[in-house]
Amino acid sequence: MRNVYVLGTGMIKFGRYPERTVPQLGAEAAIIALKDAGVTIKDIEIFISGNLFQANAMVGQRILQQIGQTGIPVVNVTNACATGSTAFREAYIAVASGMYDVSLAVGSEQMGKAGLLGANRDGVTDPAYNTEGKLGSGLMPAVFGQAGIEHMRKYGTTLAHMAKISVKSHKHATKNPFSQYRNEVTLDDVMHSRMIAYPNTLYMCCPTGDGAAAAVLVSENKLRQFAGGRKRPKVAAAVLTSDPWTERDLAWPDVSTLTRRAAKQAFEMAGVGPEDIALTELHDCFATAELVHYENLQLCGDGEAAKFIDEGGGMHPALGGHSPVNVSGGLLSKGHPLGATGVANICEITWHLTQDERAKERQVPDAKVGMAHVIGLGSACTIHILTI
């Protein structure tokens, strides 16, 4: 496999755009990424589009109608919440394999006020694997609430520990102009906001909305041609896993095993360890998810997430923390337009590694290695490690 580099990135502010279409959102992010890379659509050899809610609507081709139709192959992918990150990985593979030298990945989604993310829509979930009536609910707040409850049972973690994650992420978001919400919240605000699915309160749940993000990936030869001496991050690891079979999975979704397996593979592929990671953008669809992923990604030991939080783990160094997680504000504040999330995480990591102006207000100092993580229940987990 050849070395692959992120030449350019683009992202629009996450929010709500009822007057616009999904292709328009994706096209805007793509144009920003092309300009950032210093290339045009004529230089792109393959395009991978990630979108979930319009998976049957040829979103990639419709984006090209906005930015230029050159006859290149277009692949549309969907993989639950890991849709955008899967699109990025496919764009990586296209170049790493040697088949193409320049690829474009775009993740886009338009959700508006879609409400709670359901897992039991008619025609989607086989009744044999439906948790409804067995564990109370198959809705995502409850699924991840169960993960939090299990951590509390095993390790004595408290609601306050999980609420601190939301406080941290909202504070981080105040420095991110791309974030859907940029308001600070107090620990009291989080703990006493409306209960959604214990222990997840309202401020411990990510908002829905619209968004798009894009990345241009190139081979080493094309990097020398287009980068103009600019340092661009290498994709040191690109991993995609699914759940191995266990009896538990039939009734109780496992949000951890596929991440642990992906993390192990990613560290081995990149030749780095968790101690080398300068910043992490992980899948904090709920505060409980971020907490368990601290351990799944080896940012701390098993059962040590509460201690990690109490000692400033996950917080930006400028705020007195260490091992910063979701300095973008994460899904809890930045928002979670499903198809866009995975590519947006790549954008954030890239900006810190290259000291891009778009991350100036929240720059993690001396960042040389960054990790982006997304899971999609069903199941899929992507982990990308970028190095500079």
As a whole number of Å, the end-to-end CA separation of the chain is 18
What are residue 312's phi and psi, to 5 degrees? 90, 10
Name the pLDDT band for 122 (thresholds 50, 70, 90). very low
What tens digit of pLDDT does each residue of 162-201 get? 999 999 999 999 999 999 999 999 999 999 999 999 999 9
Rounded Cα distance between 196 and 198, Å, is 6
Domains in the chain, CATH or no CATH each: 4-115+206-387 (3.40.47.10)
Rounded Cα distance between 149 and 156, Å, is 10
Please tell me the predicted confidence (pLDDT) of residue 254: 86
Instruction: Output DSSP code: residue 181.
Output: -
Rounded Cα distance between 88 and 107, Å, is 8
What tens digit of pLDDT does each residue of 153-169 get? 999 999 999 999 999 99
What tens digit of pLDDT does each residue of 256-294 get? 999 999 999 999 999 999 999 999 999 999 999 999 999
Q: pTM for the complete prediction?
A: 0.94
CA torsion 167→169→170→174, rounded to 10°? 130
What tens digit of pLDDT does each residue of 199-215 get? 999 999 999 899 999 99
CB 387 within 8 A of CB 270: yes
3 burial via Cβ count (<10 Å: 0-12, 13-18, 19+): middle
The pair of three-digit structure tokens given for residue 276, joined into one six-digit string: 């080398």
> What is the b/e burial string over 332-366, where b = at least 16 CB atoms within 10 angstroms of the residue's CB?
bbbbbbbbbbbbbbbbbbbbbbbeeebbeebbbee
Instruction: Report in angstroms the alpha-carbon separations of 359 from 113, 269, 308, 354.
Output: 28, 27, 25, 9
Active site residues: 81, 336
Residue of 252 and 118 predicted with greater confidence: 252
Beta-carbon contacts of residue 224 (< 8 Å; ≥ 6 apart): none
From the list 146, 194, 181, 149, the residue with the least C-alpha distance to 332 is 181
Please tell me the predicted confidence (pLDDT) of residue 264: 98
Please tell me the predicted confidence (pLDDT) of residue 338: 96
CB 55 within 8 A of CB 338: no
What tens digit of pLDDT does each residue of 62-106 get? 999 999 999 999 999 999 999 999 999 999 999 999 999 999 999
